Structure 1
């Protein structure tokens, strides 16, 4: 859970401090340029022609994976591949990843920044307010639509481990166009579904055995590149002892420079493990002057080397000269582009130096961290300062700084960072005198690891007798969230109401959280208008007093009400705003507010936008697994399972439901378990496996549970309940008429309480009941009413989810258009909507009167004719409207416009809007 940014909190480049819930800490231009900068090939690099040819000879491969430990030449080979691709007129982009890129919003931003020069239509600034879903959809759509070949190089991929980011990379891979490829350099095997890619010939793997130098390459490297006068025996011996490990060969060559007897040195070591590296590094290090050794050790504690910081650490004024000399001597220094000079040490060398510092001068390390902390404070970068105070073990200095910044960081949603800092401090008993830090720690654990992990902390806070209303308010708000996560909504609502009444301070974190929680809990109670009023209270304080998180949750509350009451289009608009809230910086980083993201995925699914819903859930499901409101868990997994089921992947659908059921058992959430079984029963019912469906229905028949669910408006069970599941099973079973009275009563209750979405599915099941009870006229009348309502709002998935029987009924209804005589849309539009439901193309061909002279018309096959919506869009394009203007005119997202334009080009065989307009006019599709 995250909030709006206080941009003064920290100006740290985002890569310095990984945190999956980062909200608005900006990625500075200098930091971005470092990530996009292509490293320089060293003058002693040798060509790996066989390896590069192996890659270039596999043009169909989507992924090239170079996997090996540090020092095997992965980056060097990637640079060689890049040069050869560029020489072949294949454009490339380079991105060096780091641990902060586990934030999916930041990852999307930097990937988009890398690809912007290659792919038309991408921009890192035009949609700065976009949420992660829009950025992801726009990025994937642009990549999929791009026809020219390109290559994206991702170096240091092992730093990326976040499930959401890995899922997004899998999405990028699956949507690469012909000629598009991603080249990955990694120390380990990334979880990208490589087995499937390998089986389909889409993967080229370069492993350590391939990267090791041959004897011939070793000779070329040592003699020609490193200019060492070595005999063939010496070359063979050194190759054997290092087993062709590039880093060891290079370090050995550095050690061999200016030695009188290289043969004696080469005979002095053997083996190819890390001991060689340690030995050679020590040899290189020991040959430096005392001044340089001191400089290297003292500056090893910081990630970025700037002259000012190095001067402070070394107590000198000539650090700029030393850094320049180290760069000239190629002593493990990597330059970083930017407005001011910056460097970093090669990771292998940095680790060695830090180890040496601890071994040689253990008393200095802590003092150096203190010096760095003070310097960063002077630069107004308190987060990095806190890191160094903690690394120094100086809790006396760290705690006051933490006390000042912990709550703002909590409001930003940086819960993983806070937990990492506060966990060891609590274990050492250093939070005893800091009640608010205890509270912040409890928030961080509850939001980051869930109720089970936080329970002992909350119990301890309940035993504390601390003065001050602030501490008590936080303690009660924590209990409120704890109850919500445990699905104890009745208790939670009472507590939220009391907090809103009793906690002063309209802009406080606790008050804002309590108001948003009360709005959502009031909606669950079925008091929709009151819930909307409460959401308005929160939004009325924007922008001064409300965090982005609170705004997002209030927008989500209204979106949930709209979904419940059947306003799909309005709900989608509100939910798009909700996922954007809190993403005020250019990176569009996610604020961890998966509630809005899951609701938006639900809205997209309802409109049958399966691909967009799936992509969105790929981003958010990993974020909600550890800490998720039950409704989030149920909705997200159920939608993903339905998408898989509709695509024919029954195994994946069942796996998702099994994961959902296991989550319910693990967290002792009975509703989650029952909902997984209920969805499994729905799938079995639609497939006609009634006996198995009945058994699943029986397994979730808990009267107490369903009595509670039936009196509430819980989002995940707004439609699917035990009663509906049993009725659907009966409809498809031997006694369809037995369910009619119960379904009619449920439908009347849903309409009476303004639960239009629930009424839609009840009407569809009731229509099927009448159809199977040999009452076709009643069935068609009920079904036509459902179609008229759904056509106005764009609901499609509800029909598709009911399976083949309903599709046959829809085809029958299509033959009786007289039954569609009432509704908000013209009859033609309702018929077109009905065509979509029954799987017809909905293609529109111009009449003879609309065509130009046949002699001037190119042929456009009927199979690729444009739909009415595409024709309307193309007509607006012909009027000169931009994508954003088109989106505004049609009330859709920019990404939807781009998708339609791509479909038009694909159907007409064109490459641009100008060409599409010309072809359409030739064929009479446009006047």
Structure 2
């Protein structure tokens, strides 16, 4: 029963299914000690700095001066929303720091970091300018929204960063500096630190943008010393002894507190005070020994053995020390004021004052260093039982228990990999000795998956080779060996597919899938994904869909939302050329909703999904929604650094820009996609899409020679057999042939139509029919295209096809509203008299409008006008629906 309670409320990790593990106690504002001395003058200074709209408050002093206590007292008095984050040395990793910082800021307002946090949890650190721009915009928007909702100007949000001295990396400090260099009216930073951070404090001070509280301010006055020792701790001391203590400790809070603890029940307080002298460090060591010596032996042992825990919980301490009363003992230590700080209101989690913990750890290493690995191992075992593998691994590493680390990584590696722990996973693997890494195929396959999932394909081969070598040491016919062979073959299939070797990728994927035991759900998901992608690339669409849907089912069964996202991205890439738009939208949006609102997992290929969804909305002529979806997808792709998604979204933003008249933006998006492709950061099939869109733009610009050169780079000619893989390039050739007035254009259109019909590629078929109509196929081709497209909602293709010399020209002058009405009624077969009756106008007026319609559409007969109107989409939507 107690384990269930811990897993629900006490183990201190955020655990929404597959969320990145964040320790909740780090966000808890420490509760000020009950006997803490109130510092009204300092609190007034802090309030004044906030009221003056200074962006930064710095509370800086050496350990033990009461910095955190003062900050916590101030935080408890604030009326504006405030958040707290306690930093520690492990947070000096840039990704970890950014993740915790954004998570802390999101506690101020849920809109802050909405796009950033999933990316960071995915193990992706965006470029600094992207991260900071996004974060500052979110802060400004959240502050403005709050002000609007409350119809008044508001104080800024306040973010407390405690123990800032724990972060030293320039990349981390530059994030903080950027928040100060571009101060948001929505944010006030409070930095609590033992030493000045490497920030432009002098400039901020000169601009009156800084409120400072330093050691001299934090020293207790004689009156405060008396209040702490006599009123707070109940000591009875002569005034001259109090004055002497104040002088010798220089008002140092932790020193005075240790004095008070040492003097409790002391037979001769005056003699103790007289003997106290020396440096702060000497006094601290002396007083710590005094305080510990006065504790019962079992309490001393408890303090030492638990000092290596960054956070304390009764059950955890029981597991580490072998006791069964740790929860009660922690409460006793709190009542005794023994430098223990509660981290929650329920009294479940605590931590030692850092200075006290450091002294205890030093004493533990000096006196009982040999037992530290055992203590860490016990902590590791407890955290594993609570379902917290990340913390378990860290304690196993601290115990220098290499076999246990390997066992934990093998057992939990995929869980960590697909729950946005990939950076830490790589660090843990790299922390192992080279020999241990080389002989573990599991560790190497995990590293390969990590690189593939993040698009770092070039970094994967060395780990794959190491996995092959390690596999040779396993019994060849064992189930473990077969499972590893399947894993390795699936990874080889992905790399072959990326390198443009589709046939080899398919052979490898089929071999991988055949080796997977039925009960191995994780491998069923990953090998089915590899197989589905391989089938997709070679154009076996039905088999690809079957394999990918099996992968989706298996991935969702084990809450592997990362694999699920990749699966749906590839399903979307199939359903779009097949013309199954409604199915695409239903599945893709459902998975995005589940990912973003339930699992909050890494959006590795979510940009690609947004790109395909954006294309569908564009086909449905919901242009504003399409553009929003594409831009959001681009932002997510750039934040996550997923190069395939960056290139793919940019290509389709180029299409929308071109077809809505912004060729300059189209060229810019294509350049950005081309830069990604030039760096080798995307699979081969993306390059074909990029060339096809580049050709569409060049044709629209009349640059036919350049368009032809680009097409010939692909190695696909108009004479090449048409297939799923070649569709985009053959359609691009068809556009070029129409623009170049090539007589064989209609023949190519017929070949594309035949291939698309044979394989059910209705999306490609509709494009070929529309272009074929321009190549000489006539209205019958357009009519058939519309018959195929209407059930799936196609509209835009009939309105915004390329304007080539042989194409039916677009309207130079748009129809008036009345002409739209007349055209709509002509399409219903009404006579002029019936139309006049419907519109309540004369027959001559109808004739006048009909003449205008014919002239603008470039036709001479009623049937031609109706067909032309349908080809342009004028009869498939109302003007109010066109968002372009």
Scaled by the length of structure 1, what TM-score is found? Answer: 0.61
Tell me, in whole angstroms, the C-alpha distance in 2 between the residues paired with 1:438 and 1:51.
52
Residue 545 (structure 2) pairs with residue 529 (structure 1): no
Tell me, in whole angstroms, the C-alpha distance in 2 between the residues paired with 1:413 and 1:576.
22
Deviation at 1:830, TM superposition (A): 0.3
* 1:753-796 Cα deviation digits (max 9, x unpaired): 155555777889999x99xxxx9x999x9799889958963776
Residue number among 585, 604, 617 corresponding to 1:572 in the alignment? 585
Deviation at 1:305, TM superposition (A): 0.6
Residue number among 374, 393, 397 corresponding to 1:367 in the alignment? 374
Residue 506 (structure 2) pairs with residue 482 (structure 1): no
Q: State whether residues 572 and 600 of structure 1, in contact with CA within 8 Å, keep that contact through their aligned partners in structure 2.
A: no
Please give the secondary structure, in 1, of the residue aligned with 2:436.
Answer: coil
Deviation at 1:509, TM superposition (A): 3.2
Residue 18 (structure 2) pairs with residue 24 (structure 1): yes
Deviation at 1:492, TM superposition (A): 0.9
Question: How many matched pairs?
Answer: 745
Matching of residues 98-247 of structure 1 within 5 Å = 115=109, 169-170=135-136, 172-173=138-139, 175-176=141-142, 177-179=144-146, 181-186=156-161, 187=164, 188-189=172-173, 191=175, 194=178, 198=182, 209=201, 210-213=210-213, 217-218=217-218, 223-224=223-224
Tell me, in whole angstroms, the C-alpha distance in 1 between the residues paired with 2:258 and 2:670.
56
Deviation at 1:114, TM superposition (A): 6.5
Structure 1 residues 704 and 108: CA distance shift in structure 2, 3 A: same
Please give the secondary structure, in 2, of the residue aligned with 1:836.
Answer: coil
Residue 396 (structure 2) pairs with residue 389 (structure 1): yes
Tell me, in whole angstroms, the C-alpha distance in 2 between the residues paired with 1:656 and 1:17.
43
Structure 1 residues 762 and 80: CA distance shift in structure 2, 3 A: farther
Structure 1 residues 392 and 217: CA distance shift in structure 2, 3 A: closer
* 1:410-430 Cα deviation digits (max 9, x unpaired): 676755454443333351336
Residue 649 (structure 2) pairs with residue 665 (structure 1): no
Please give the secondary structure, in 1, of the residue aligned with 2:432.
Answer: helix
Structure 1 residues 102 and 407: CA distance shift in structure 2, 3 A: closer
Tell me, in whole angstroms, the C-alpha distance in 1 between the residues paired with 2:459 and 2:245.
57
* 1:99-120 Cα deviation digits (max 9, x unpaired): 699699999998777758xx9x
Report the equivalent of 2:852: none
Scaled by the length of structure 2, what TM-score is found? Answer: 0.64
Residue 605 (structure 2) pairs with residue 595 (structure 1): yes
Deviation at 1:544, TM superposition (A): 5.8
Matching of residues 674-693 of structure 1 within 5 Å = none
Structure whose CA Rg is larger: 2
Residue number among 491, 514, 518 corresponding to 2:504 in the alignment? 491
Residue number among 305, 308, 315 corresponding to 1:301 in the alignment? 308
Report the equivalent of 1:56: 51
Structure 1 residues 604 and 168: CA distance shift in structure 2, 3 A: farther
Structure 1 residues 253 and 459: CA distance shift in structure 2, 3 A: same
Tell me, in whole angstroms, the C-alpha distance in 2 between the residues paired with 1:619 and 1:218.
45
* 1:657-684 Cα deviation digits (max 9, x unpaired): 5586256425596766787788778778
Structure 2 spans left out of the alignment, 5+ residues: 148-155, 165-171, 202-209, 229-238, 264-268, 618-623, 824-864
Please give the secondary structure, in 1, of the residue aligned with 2:877.
Answer: helix
Please give the secondary structure, in 2, of the residue aligned with 1:830.
Answer: coil
Please give the secondary structure, in 2, of the residue aligned with 1:574.
Answer: helix
Q: State whether residues 65 and 183 of structure 1, in contact with CA within 8 Å, keep that contact through their aligned partners in structure 2.
A: no
Structure 1 residues 619 and 174: CA distance shift in structure 2, 3 A: farther
Residue 853 (structure 2) pairs with residue 831 (structure 1): no
Residue 465 (structure 2) pairs with residue 459 (structure 1): yes
Structure 1 residues 12 and 352: CA distance shift in structure 2, 3 A: farther
Tell me, in whole angstroms, the C-alpha distance in 2 between the residues paired with 1:482 and 1:519.
14
Tell me, in whole angstroms, the C-alpha distance in 1 between the residues paired with 2:671 and 2:492.
30
Deviation at 1:654, TM superposition (A): 5.1
Matching of residues 487-886 of structure 1 within 5 Å = 487-501=500-514, 503-505=516-518, 507-538=520-551, 552-579=565-592, 588-590=599-601, 592=602, 594-604=604-614, 606-607=616-617, 608-609=624-625, 610-625=627-642, 630=644, 632-638=645-651, 657-658=671-672, 661-662=675-676, 664-665=678-679, 702-704=713-715, 713=724, 724=732, 738=741, 742=745, 745=748, 749=752, 753=756, 755=761, 757=763, 793=793, 809=810, 812-815=813-816, 817=820, 818=823, 830-832=877-879, 835-837=882-884
* 1:430-458 Cα deviation digits (max 9, x unpaired): 663x5555544554555468333331222
Q: State whether residues 444 and 466 of structure 2, in contact with CA within 8 Å, keep that contact through their aligned partners in structure 1.
A: no
Please give the secondary structure, in 2, of the residue aligned with 1:213.
Answer: strand
Tell me, in whole angstroms, the C-alpha distance in 2 between the residues paired with 1:813 and 1:549.
48
Tell me, in whole angstroms, the C-alpha distance in 2 between the residues paired with 1:415 and 1:782.
51
* 1:4-56 Cα deviation digits (max 9, x unpaired): xxx99x9599997899xx9637989xx75874667548544454445544433
Deviation at 1:262, TM superposition (A): 14
Deviation at 1:477, TM superposition (A): 1.9
Tell me, in whole angstroms, the C-alpha distance in 2 between the residues paired with 1:51 and 1:706.
73
Tell me, in whole angstroms, the C-alpha distance in 1 between the residues paired with 2:56 and 2:313.
34
Q: State whether residues 820 and 830 of structure 1, in contact with CA within 8 Å, keep that contact through their aligned partners in structure 2.
A: no
Q: State whether residues 718 and 733 of structure 2, in contact with CA within 8 Å, keep that contact through their aligned partners in structure 1.
A: no
Please give the secondary structure, in 2, of the residue aligned with 1:471.
Answer: helix
Structure 1 spans left out of the alignment, 5+ residues: 1-6, 123-131, 138-156, 242-247, 270-275, 838-927
Tell me, in whole angstroms, the C-alpha distance in 2 between the residues paired with 1:545 and 1:621.
28
Report the equivalent of 1:288: 291
Tell me, in whole angstroms, the C-alpha distance in 1 between the residues paired with 2:180 and 2:770.
39
* 1:159-195 Cα deviation digits (max 9, x unpaired): 9967798786456335323445543344454649948
Structure 1 residues 165 and 323: CA distance shift in structure 2, 3 A: farther
* 1:502-540 Cα deviation digits (max 9, x unpaired): 544264433432222222332333333333333444567
Tell me, in whole angstroms, the C-alpha distance in 2 between the residues paired with 1:507 and 1:827.
54
Deviation at 1:546, TM superposition (A): 9.0
Q: State whether residues 222 and 246 of structure 2, in contact with CA within 8 Å, keep that contact through their aligned partners in structure 1.
A: no
Structure 1 residues 391 and 784: CA distance shift in structure 2, 3 A: same
Tell me, in whole angstroms, the C-alpha distance in 2 between the residues paired with 1:199 and 1:650.
34
Deviation at 1:343, TM superposition (A): 0.8
Q: State whether residues 45 and 225 of structure 1, in contact with CA within 8 Å, keep that contact through their aligned partners in structure 2.
A: no
Tell me, in whole angstroms, the C-alpha distance in 2 between the residues paired with 1:293 and 1:24.
40
Deviation at 1:366, TM superposition (A): 1.3
Structure 1 residues 279 and 835: CA distance shift in structure 2, 3 A: farther
Tell me, in whole angstroms, the C-alpha distance in 2 between the residues paired with 1:427 and 1:353.
33
Tell me, in whole angstroms, the C-alpha distance in 2 between the residues paired with 1:567 and 1:542.
23
Tell me, in whole angstroms, the C-alpha distance in 2 between the residues paired with 1:579 and 1:536.
16
Structure 1 residues 671 and 502: CA distance shift in structure 2, 3 A: closer
Q: CA RMSD in A?
A: 6.4
Tell me, in whole angstroms, the C-alpha distance in 2 between the residues paired with 1:647 and 1:348.
65
Matching of residues 332-343 of structure 1 within 5 Å = 332-337=339-344, 341-343=348-350
Tell me, in whole angstroms, the C-alpha distance in 1 between the residues paired with 2:510 and 2:684.
26
